[in-house]
Amino acid sequence: MRTDSSPGTLPAREHLPAATAGTPVLDVVIPVYNEEKDLQPCVRRLHDHLTRTFPYSFRITIADNASTDSTPLVAERLAGLIPEVENFRLEQKGRGRALRTVWSASDAPILAYMDVDLSTDLNALLPLVAPLISGHSDLAIGSRLARSSRVVRGPKREFISRAYNLILRGSLQARFSDAQCGFKAIRRDVAQILLPLVEDTGWFFDTEMLVLAERAGLRIHEVPVDWVDDPDSTVHIVKTATDDLKGVWRVGRALATGSLSLDRLTRPFGDDPRDRDIMDVPKGLARQLVGFCVVGGLSTLFYLLLYSGFRQFTGSQSANALALLVSAVANTAANRRLTFGVRGRGGAVKHQAQGLVVFGIGLALTSGSLFALNTATSSPAHSTELAVLIAANLAATVLRFLLFRVWVFSDRREGDEPPATGVPSDASHLPPAFRAARDPHAPGAPFIPHAPTPADPSTDPSAQWPQPSHPSQQPLPQRPAASPHDPDPTTRFRAGEAADGTWRDATMQLQPVRRPHDTDPGDAR
């Protein structure tokens, strides 16, 4: 699992501002492998749909991952005929590899992809990307398993799809409904940080991306789609299913061991309403009580079984101490993960040590109860011992919850150390541009030139648009215009943006596009 560095904490979600930047708002990637027959009808149909219905500028990128037929020639011809189409050639197979490469090189603020067979009705495309443009969501997926979806496919694929999503829910606790629908979108600022953490390069790429995004607390929007199965699909179901199960095991193990730095995907403190302090409302108290009661009930049964076993060959005090020690370690570990949501190995030893102190208090209560019982009755019945221990454990349980909540796994209070998620309360975690926005004279803040003086609105129509005031809203770096004499526009696209890293500028501008019925005679569209 990838744990390499990434640009940093995500900025706050905001609606993409409208401006006159020439960068396309939406980049739709079509990954293809030996699709010489379907590629041209797909691109032309998609281009026609976007031209008629999408209110902003767009780009269609063909991601050819190592095709061996005439697919590269078809893609090159389409890129030459249609200005909004670009071709990207990879020499290695893998849908995930193609998506990561093209998305990483793209300068569009909204990145999407769809399968070349266009099984999904294109009317769902605008509802898919609208929540990302508005800043409401971080990712968006089409779902064939939603109640209002209309799907036409055979029983075999239906069973496999539903079984796979049940596996994801049971093993990785996924809450999204459809991981493998070839119809997804993501904000570019999220992709910059999320994609380096995704290891898979094949069909499991989608699932891994969604699981990591969900675990990091990002918002995933689901769109019910109309979907018709392609009978000529070249997907190898058995091999794909095997690879997916291997991916589920790998990702589950990484999440269980805490080897992923998902705190890099957190939003700034205060962007999430759950970060806000509300007087007299304890954070997560109801959920913690439920989790603690479930863990407490199970650990009590475990403790009683251990006590009954140890009592066969030792005295009541020794059996009580051994049973309580073993169950206390298990109880602390379970409450740490399930009740208070602490993941990873960080602080585990400290928490267990504090849990042993709580165990000592519980031991004093239960041992004192047994001592009082033995003092009152010389040879009490085993059922009486169990009844006394249950009462004592109930008292110890209430005290344990309070100590766990206010001491062992306490909420961070004002003035405490920064939270373990890696999001400090000051601006040190923000990218340089955002630190400069808070204090342009702060040490280490990058120089951000002032915007040029706006032109006279009466002579320059572009000056009528509101100018961006925030450093994160400066105009995007412009892609060089493709020359008709350029022998290899694909190479320049890859070298000019993927190599020099200009795509990392987290600026997002929307370009209004005139419709065909507009009256401007100079509009080429």
Under the banding of pLDDT at 50, 70 and 90, the label for residue 440 is: very low
125, 142 contact by CB (below 8 A):
no
Helix residue ranges per DSSP H, 146-262: 155-171, 188-194, 205-215, 237-257
List 111's β-bridge partners, or say none: 27, 186
pLDDT at position 370:
81
What is the phi/psi pair of residue 82, to 5°?
Answer: -115, 120
| Of 131, 138, 151, 157, residue with least CA distance to 223 | 131
Positive or negative: CA dihedral 99, 128, 51, 151? positive
Task: Classify 512 as helix, strand or coil.
Answer: strand
Residue 282 or 190, more confident: 190
Condensed to tens digits (0 to 9), the pLDDT of residues 235-260 reads 667 777 788 888 888 998 888 887 77
pLDDT at 22: 72
Q: Give, for 349, the enclosing helix (H) or strand (E).
A: helix 348-376
Place of tokens 């009541």: 316
pLDDT tops 50 at residue 413: no
Burial grade of 439 (CB within 10 A; 0-12, 13-18, 19 or more): exposed
Q: Which of 496, 442, 498, 448 is nearest to 472 (CA)?
A: 448
Summarize pLDDT for 278-319 with one digit per residue, the tens. 555 455 677 788 888 888 888 888 888 888 888 888 888 888
Structure tokens at 57: 């500028």
How high is the pLDDT of residue 87? 93
**507 and 107 Cβ atoms separated by less than 8 Å:** no
Helices 285-310 & 382-403 angle (0-180, nearest 10)? 150
Q: Is residue 277 very low, low, confident or very high in pLDDT (cuts 50, 70, 90)?
A: low
- pLDDT value, residue 335: 86
Look at 441 and 173; give whichever has higher pLDDT.
Answer: 173
pLDDT at 424 over 70: no
Each residue's pLDDT tens digit, 159-184: 888 888 888 888 888 888 888 888 99
pTM: 0.55
**Confidence check: pLDDT of 26 > 80:** yes
Q: Any alpha helices (H) in 224-315, and if so which ranges? A: 237-257, 285-310
Whole-angstrom distance, CA of residue 96 vs CA of residue 32: 11
Query: CB neighbours of 119 closer than 8 A, spacing ≥ 6?
Result: 182, 227, 228, 229, 230
Residue that wins the pLDDT comparison between 455 and 156: 156
Q: Supply the mean pLDDT for the chain.
A: 75
Read off the pLDDT of each residue in 124-148 and give the average, rounded to a whole number.
Answer: 92
C-alpha to C-alpha distance for 87 and 460, rounded to whole angstroms:
35
Confidence of residue 514 (pLDDT cuts 50, 70, 90): very low
Per-residue pLDDT, 288: 80
Check if the beta carbon of residue 420 is closer than 8 Å to that of residue 346.
yes
pLDDT in tens, 479-512: 444 444 444 444 333 333 443 444 444 444 455 4
**pLDDT tens track for 212-227:** 999 888 899 999 999 8
